[in-house]
Chain A
Amino acid sequence: MAGGIIQQLLRKKLQGQSFVLSSLFSKKGYDGAGSTQAKSLRAIALLGAGVSGFLSFGTIASADEAEHGLACPNYPWPHEGILSSYDHASIRRGHQVYQQVCASCHSMSLISYRDLVGVAYTEDEVKAMAAEIEVVDGPNDEGEMFTRPGKLSDQFPQPYANEQAARFANGGAYPPDLSLITKARHNGQNYVFALLTGYRDPPAGVTIREGLHYNPYFPGGAIAMPKMLNDGAVEYEDGTPATEAQMGKDVVSFLSWAAEPEMEERKLMGFKWIFLLSLALLQAGYFRRLRWSVLKSRKLVVDVVN
Chain B
Amino acid sequence: MVVYTSLTYLCVIYLTQYRADEEPVDQKKYLEDLCKPKCVKPLREYQACVKRIQGDESGHKHCTGQYFDYWTCVDKCVSIPLSQNGSI
Interface set of A (CB-CB < 8 Å, partner B): 62, 65-66, 70-78, 80, 194, 197, 200, 203-207, 216, 221, 231, 241-246, 248-249
- Which residues of chain B are near A231, meaning CB under 8 Å? 24, 26
Which of A62, A194, A243 contacts B27, CB < 8 Å? A243
How far is B87's CA from A197's CA once the two chains are assembled, in angstroms? 17
Cα distance, A70 to B87, chains bound together (Å): 23
Question: How far in angstroms is the closest Cβ of chain B from A75?
Answer: 5
Q: Across chains A and B, which 3 residue pairs bring their CB atoms closest together, nearest first? A: A205-B62, A241-B24, A203-B67
A76-B87 CB under 8 A given contacts A205-B56, A205-B61, A241-B24: yes
Contacts of A194 in B (CB 8 A): 75
B48-74 CB contact bits vs A (8 Å, 1 = yes)? 011001101001011111111001100
SS class, residues of chain B in contact with chain A: helix
Whether A204 pairs with B82 at a CB distance below 8 angstroms is no
A76 to B, closest residue via Cβ: B83
Q: Are B56 and A75 in contact (CB under 8 A)?
A: no
Which A residues touch B64, using CB under 8 A? 65-66, 203, 205-206, 221
**Which A residue's beta carbon lies closest to that of B46?**
A203
Chain B residues lying within 8 Å of A75, measured Cβ to Cβ, are 79, 82, 88
Indicate if the CB atoms of A243 and B26 lie closer than 8 Å.
Answer: yes
What residue in chain B is nearest A242 (Cβ atoms)? B24
A77 to B24, CA, bound (A): 22
The answer to whether residues A205 and B28 also contact, given A70-B68, A76-B82 and a CB cut-off of 8 A, is no
Which residue of B is nearest A201, CB measured?
B67
Pull 7 A–B residue pairs with CB atoms less than 8 Å apart, ordered by A. Answer: A65-B68, A66-B64, A66-B68, A76-B82, A80-B87, A216-B71, A243-B26
Decide if A72 touches B75 in the complex (CB within 8 Å). yes
B43 within 8 A of partner (CB) = no
Given A72-B75, A205-B53, A243 contacting B25 (CB threshold 8 A) = yes
Q: Are A62 and B65 in contact (CB under 8 A)?
A: yes
Q: How far is B63's CA from A221's CA once the two chains are assembled, in angstroms?
A: 13
Contact A241 B50 (CB under 8 A): no
B18, B28, B53: the one within 8 Å of A244 (CB): B28
